[in-house]
Structure 1
Amino acid sequence: MAAKHNFRKLNIWHEGMSLVKETYIITKSFPKSETYSLISQIQRLPVSVPSNIAEGTSKNTNKHFCVFLKPL
């Protein structure tokens, strides 16, 4: 049986999006010399949280969905 998930209804997805916004606000004040190294790395991490949740909702079973919610 296919599981239907809507990631936009999940609190954890909204919290992840808030983390992304906060991270971008904070890194905006970093020196421009860090744009392609430190800033890039710091920004990629929080983006992966809501991205993994959204990707997991496209899976067909709850078991596969849970894989995307577990930390590494």
Structure 2
Amino acid sequence: MHDFKNFKVWQKAIELIKSVFKSYEHLPNDEKFGIKSQIKRSAVSIASNLAEGAGRNTDKQFVNFINMSQGFSFELETQFILIQDLFNIENQDEFVKIF
């Protein structure tokens, strides 16, 4: 077993979750149960899978959960790209203000 709280990647995932939750309010309310909900779930899943994997008994199981976290990070990146396209955010600085 590993202490996931000491992993830099887990710590950064927690910061990412905080950023997503804070910036989430800038999206239209009609997206509350659409992409807004999905980005929150994806962000939380990254850190959650790292923590769950750290509690597993073998390195092979741990690596599997790391891979799942990576998959959720790709999912979140895809959602960010979609948000840029849907809301016509062409300027990267404007996108950073939202996220």
TM-score by length of 1: 0.87
Overall identity of the aligned pairs, in %? 33
Query: Which protein is richer in helix relative to its size?
Result: 2
Q: Does 1:33 align with 2:19?
A: no
Superposition RMSD on alpha carbons, in Å?
A: 1.1
Unaligned 5+ segments in structure 2 are 72-99
Greater relative contact order (Cα 8 A, min sep 6): structure 1 or 2?
A: 1
> 2:46 is matched with which residue: 19, 42, 49?
49
Q: Equivalent residue for 1:59? A: 56
Number of residues of Structure 1 aligned to a counterpart in Structure 2: 69
Runs of 4+ residues deviating >3 angstroms: none
1: distance between equivalents of 2:22 and 2:15? 11
Given candidates 2, 24, 30, the residue that maps to 1:5 is: 2
Secondary structure of the 1:59 match is coil
Give 5+ residue unaligned stretches, structure 1: none
**Which residue number in structure 1 is paired with residue 80 of structure 2?**
none
